[in-house]
């Protein structure tokens, strides 16, 4: 059963004492002020998070198409020696994806950033490059882990938005990092309703609150996913207790969830 972090177990509710009605106006004003402050401090007194579409939109169209993994549109917009800071290495990582080879790896461009602050690891993640390949892991992933763009987004957060579970597993060291709004990768996964990604990230990020004081449970309730995630986590628990033969057939929670759907 999913439960709130200890800091959210008891939300204050204001119950006026009968004697308050006889207090002078200044005292009543003070009590109303306290009530307002208690509401403001509660996650339920905060405005809702921005729409999901706003997290997939960038100032320049080419970055929006990349975030949405629209390779054909991206290729139409990409120009070599562009003014947006997109290097040839970044372009190859995104466009070629799993077909990217070590011969295309340009050491001089590994630490470059585009105008939005994204690194080659962001591009490799969105291109679904196999981050477990030794040369990619050593030359790109290990060197660029935990780097945020100008919106505070990490490669893990972008993977969570798109439900790229293999990338999420490889980028687990970025778990717990927050963007400019205080949101973690699991919160992005919840907003995009990627159940298997939520399950993978739950243990590492379940206690983190965003800047509005919302927990993972608040997000699950807001997006009406709490029951679905609880069911999925129960399946993961059963999977971990399953026989060795079953584990050989299905060795990851996300595979088990998808097989059961």
Residue 48 in this model has a pLDDT that exceeds 70: no
Please indicate whether residue 40 or residue 158 has the higher confidence score (pLDDT).
Answer: 158
Provide the token pair at 116.
Answer: 């939005």
Asked if 203 contacts 235 with a C-beta cutoff of 8 angstroms, the reply is: no
Residue 246 in this model has a pLDDT that exceeds 50: no
Asked if 188 contacts 157 with a C-beta cutoff of 8 angstroms, the reply is: yes
Give this prediction's pTM: 0.76
d(CA 85, CA 129): 20
Q: Is the dihedral of CA 185, 186, 189, 190 positive or negative?
A: negative
Q: What is the pLDDT of residues 76-129, one digit of tens each?
A: 999 998 999 999 999 999 999 999 999 999 999 999 999 999 999 999 999 999
Asked if 220 contacts 2 with a C-beta cutoff of 8 angstroms, the reply is: yes
Average pLDDT over residues 205-223: 93
N residues, the chain: 261
Angle made by CA atoms 167, 170, 172, in degrees to the nearest 5: 105
Q: What is the pLDDT of residues 115-172, one digit of tens each?
A: 999 999 999 999 999 999 999 999 999 999 999 999 999 999 999 999 999 999 999 9
């Amino acid at each position: 059963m999913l439960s709130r972090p200890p800091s959210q177990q008891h939300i204050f509710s204001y119950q006026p004492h009968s004697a308050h009605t006889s207090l002078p106006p200044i005292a009543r004003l003070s009590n109303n002020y306290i009530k307002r402050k208690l509401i403001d401090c509660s996650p339920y007194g905060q405005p809702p998070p921005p729409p999901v579409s706003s997290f997939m939109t960038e100032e320049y169209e080419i970055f929006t198409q990349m975030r949405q993994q629209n390779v054909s549109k991206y290729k139409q917009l990409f120009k070599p020696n562009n003014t947006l800071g997109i290097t040839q290495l970044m372009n190859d990582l995104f466009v070629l994806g799993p077909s990217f080879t070590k011969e295309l790896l340009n050491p001089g461009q590994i630490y470059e950033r585009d105008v939005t602050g994204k690194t080659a690891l962001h591009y490799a993640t969105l291109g679904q490059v196999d981050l477990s390949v030794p040369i990619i892991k050593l030359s790109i992933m290990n060197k660029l882990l935990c780097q945020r763009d100008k919106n505070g987004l990490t490669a893990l957060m972008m993977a969570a938005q798109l439900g790229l579970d293999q990338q999420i597993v490889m980028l687990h060291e970025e778990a717990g990092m927050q963007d400019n709004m205080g949101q973690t990768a699991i919160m992005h996964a919840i907003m995009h309703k990627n159940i298997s990604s939520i399950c993978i990230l739950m243990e590492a990020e379940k206690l983190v609150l965003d800047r509005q004081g919302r927990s993972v449970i608040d997000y699950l309730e807001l997006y009406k996913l709490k029951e679905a995630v609880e069911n999925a986590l129960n399946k993961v628990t059963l999977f971990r207790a399953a026989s060795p033969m079953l584990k050989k057939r299905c060795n990851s929670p996300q595979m088990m969830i998808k097989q059961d759907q």
